[in-house]
Structure formats: structure tokens, C-alpha cells
Amino acid sequence: MFTRDEAKRFVPRGDGDPHHDVVLAWELLYRLEPGLYDRLARAERLHPGIAGWLPCDVDRIAEVGAGTGRLTMELVKHGRRLVAVEPALPLRRILRRKLAAAGYGDRAQVVHGFFDQLPLPDDSAGLVAACSAFTPAPGHGGEAGLAEMERVCRPGGCVAIIWPNHLDWLAARGYRYVSFPGPMSVEFGSYQEAVELAQIFYPGAAREVRRRGSPSVPFEILGINPPRDLAFKVLPG
């Protein structure tokens, strides 16, 4: 299931229980059911203010933990070249297909890598971003991952953590916070999909999702923070 490098990060003792280890549960999902994860990511759309805030006409952009392209498909419009780093092979395959189908295959490269070992040169990107992937936990970033993102970012460039958690942790490391207002909903492809995915990912809200009878479900009903915010740092020039 995992490569040797992945096993070192996600099951360092050689075992693990996804019922009690959230990071492990998600990593297994990415590899066992990548299409299911992609359906969820497509429904949990980012606030449009995020795209408007991101810098445009960037020579080179690096994204870390790109997944199946929740942010990538927007980022690629903001730069001349984009490198998307994603450790899970099944997610990389989906993302490559999406980029090719959208006509971005010549501007975007999808590569294997981890937060703490980015396969990118120093000072090589004007924007380095991660969306719903970075956490203070070592397996999903941590101190080493943040240092790597800043290493790759050129002087005067921006490191952006989109849909962050642990804002105090990032603030203590010099990151500022931006949030965009307005109501937000998870936009499932159909009511049937809303019920199906709620039963899997939001079981506590599944009854209410069924009762509403709509493919559009406000984030507050699901009990999660909407993807409306980001933390960022502009590196000294």
C-alpha cells in the first residue's frame, strides 16, 4: 500500500489503526479510493475570494500536497509555469488527467515529493502554496515542511497556506491571516451524492442532509470550517 518512504512517515512503527489515526485514514483513502476523495474535493469548493487574492502573472508557482487539484486548477491560471508536488500516486494520476483535459499540460508539471523533501531548487518560485494539506504534524508538514516551502520561495515571494488549521502555530512563525466573508456550502453533484458522501465523511450530519433534500449543504451543517481563509508570509526581498 505504501512505498518505503511513505511507510516511514505514516506508519513509522510498522503498524497503525486508521480508526484512531486520522492522518493514516486519509492517506489510505488517497491510495485505496482516490476517485471517492476527488468527488469530495470537487464538492468542497474554495471561496472565490482566495483566487482573487492570489498574485497573478507569477513566473513560477509551486504547490505542495496538490491532491487532485482543488487549488491547482486555479493556480495554473496565475503563473507561466506550475509544479504540483503530490506524494500519492493515484492522486497524481487524476491531477495529470485533469490538467491535460483542460489544456494545461504544457504549463504544469506534477511530480512526486513530500513536504519535508521538496524536489525543487532554492528560491525557484514566486508563489509557494498548499491547500488543505499542511498541518503542524510532521507527516503533513510541520517545522521541516514549512522550512522547505520557504526554501523554495524566492526573496520577495509569497508562501500561502490555504484553508489552514492551527492559526496560532502559523502566526508564531510570522504568518498573517486573511478571511473572506459570505455564506458557503458544499456543492455536491446531486442530492444522491450529498447523501452518499455525507454518510461516509460527515456521518453526524447525514440525517440532516437527507432531510434537506438538496445537493447544496451549508458548511455549518456539516460541522466544518468553510475553505474561506488563508495564512501567508511574504519573504524578505
CA distances from 232 to 149, 164, 223 (A): 12, 10, 25
Return d(Cα 139, Cα 168) in angstroms, integer. Answer: 19
Average pLDDT, the chain: 95
The per-residue pLDDT for range 206-220, each reduced to its tens digit, is: 999 999 999 999 999
CA 48 to CA 56: how far, in whole Å? 15
What pLDDT is stored for residue 94 in this prediction?
A: 98
Give the CA count within 13 Å in the CB-facing half-sphere of 89. 6
Which residues neighbour 97 within 8 Å (Cβ) at sequence distance 6 or greater?
Answer: none
22 pLDDT exceeds 90? no
Residue 182 has pLDDT above 90, yes or no: yes
Dump pLDDT digits (tens) for 58-87: 999 999 999 999 999 999 999 999 999 999
**Which residue, among 153, 157, 228, 156, has the nearest Cα to 186 in the 3D structure?**
228
> What is this structure's pTM?
0.94
Residue range 129-147, pLDDT digits in tens: 999 999 998 878 999 999 9
d(CA 23, CA 135): 10
- Asked if the model's pLDDT at residue 19 lies above 90, the reply is no
Q: Give the per-residue pLDDT at 33.
A: 97
CA distance 116 to 139: 9
Beta bridge partners of 60: 81
Query: Which tens digits make up the pLDDT trace of 32-42?
Result: 999 999 999 99
For the cut 90, the answer to whether the pLDDT of residue 90 exceeds it is yes
Mean pLDDT of 105-117: 95
